[in-house]
Amino acid sequence: MDELPIGRRVAYWRGRRKMSQQVFADRLGKSKSWVDKVERGVRRLDKFSVLYEIADILQLDAQLLLGKAPERRTDGLTCIDEVEVEEIRSALERYDSMTSFFTATPEPPSLAEMAKSVSHAWLTYQYARYGVLTRALPKLLRDAQALDSTAGGDDARRAAHLLGQVYQIASSALRKLGEYELAWLAADRSMAVAQRADDPLLAGVATYRVGNALLALGRARAALEVNVSFANRIAPSGGRDATPDRLSVYGMLLLQGAMAAARMGDNNTVRDLVNGASEAADRLGGDDNRYWTSFGPTNLELHRAAAAVELGEGRQAVETHERQIMRREGFKALLPERRAHHMLDLARGFAQVGELDRAGEALVEGDRLAASEIRCRPIAHEVMSNVLRRTRGAPPAPIAELAEHMGVGI
């Protein structure tokens, strides 16, 4: 975007923030006509005070509006910045499988090297090291795409499988960090690649990534339908097909469908889907991480609590935590992202029943388990803001300190 006029950059980022010209003008204290002229280049934007005000409203570094790269952050906890978003977007918009017909594709890594990189990326995600992951994603995407476009014979399916996983990792991380449209694009790409990989379970995992992205975009019914539809297609019959892999993917599809139903306020569907997932978890026999799902009896209870929060039943979520989750050894064995995510859900539950100190304590515990899961997620910022706003007097020191680290004002 460096070559674009500044007005076009303003229009681009306004569109990314889903603001109409009128809403943007109102927040800026200008007329819609003024905004339109700036974006079309009819009116010059030459006052730095206005430029920085625009950047503040659009929630980005003013250097981006000037066509310059903002100062890159180097600490290990940073979440994602505009430069990283654009690099990931650029990698997602590559079509190596098409361009390889006309131009030479860069030398890709070997299948063994790619498999090692993908495994490391999954662990980076499940340890909630989002800053590290987002900086690695552009190269990982390009390498996986290059390998997929050049592999042939028996290697083609393996290369497609690895690319599908990279798209899923990207979708999951982008959704966590609030880049929902890119998360949907990456998940959709993963579904297409899964067909070439000839792996219905990979397609199933891609499906619930799509469902997650749709839910984040506010399309709960579509998320419910896509998860349940694919779950029905791969439902184990009870014979040889009831493998641990299939049970794990099937169970997670049902749980993601339950989350979508909860968002819609459909308590009956939530109950039916969770019960179906519970049967799959019982048949699985224990907690596992097959197909990177972390599915099992413990993760089932985490989703039961999360669904209760979505339904506005905070007390039920808290009771599920105290009676079913904290007593399980399996909870301590879960990877940090899962445990910290649950603490965020628990904080929401405590906030719903007015136990604000305990809500803040849950956020602090989640931060201890996996800081990026709390400090980087928009929903965590909303919860912390809610806790601070409703707390009488000064909040306890650990909560106030975490709020400061998160950049949430007291």
Please give the average per-residue pLDDT across 284-308, as a whole number. 95
Cβ-defined contacts of 221-227 (< 8 Å, 24+):
221/260, 221/264, 223/256, 223/257, 223/259, 223/260, 223/263, 224/257, 224/260, 224/261, 224/264, 224/269, 227/253, 227/254, 227/256, 227/257, 227/260
Least-confidence region, from 133-142, 220-229, 348-357 = 133-142
Instruction: For the chain, give every domain's residue range.
Output: 6-65, 79-196, 199-331, 335-410
pLDDT in tens, 136-182: 999 999 999 999 999 988 899 999 999 999 999 999 999 999 899 99
pLDDT in tens, 63-88: 777 776 554 444 434 577 777 788 89
Cα distances from 169 to residues 78, 133, 234, 235, 359, in angstroms, run 18, 9, 22, 24, 29
Please give the average per-residue pLDDT across 34-40, as a whole number. 91
**DSSP helix/strand/coil, 107:** coil
**Does 93 have pLDDT greater than 60?**
yes
Percent of the chain with pLDDT over 70: 91
pLDDT range class, residue 328, cuts 50, 70, 90: confident
Q: What is the mean pLDDT of the chain?
A: 89
**DSSP helix/strand/coil, 47:** coil
Fold adopted by 199-331: 1.25.40
Least-confidence region, from 237-241, 286-290, 385-389 = 237-241
Please give the average per-residue pLDDT across 23-47, as a whole number. 88
Cα distances from 309 to residues 52, 178, 267, 315, 345, in angstroms, run 38, 20, 12, 9, 7
| Dist CA 282 CA 54 (whole Å) | 54
| Dist CA 314 CA 350 (whole Å) | 6
| Dist CA 231 CA 269 (whole Å) | 14
More confident residue, 9 or 261: 261
Return the CATH number of the domain spanning residue range 6-65: 1.10.260.40
- 6-65 against 199-331: fold identical: no
Tokens matching residue 248 = 């794990």
Greatest distance between any 2 Cα atoms in the chain: 71
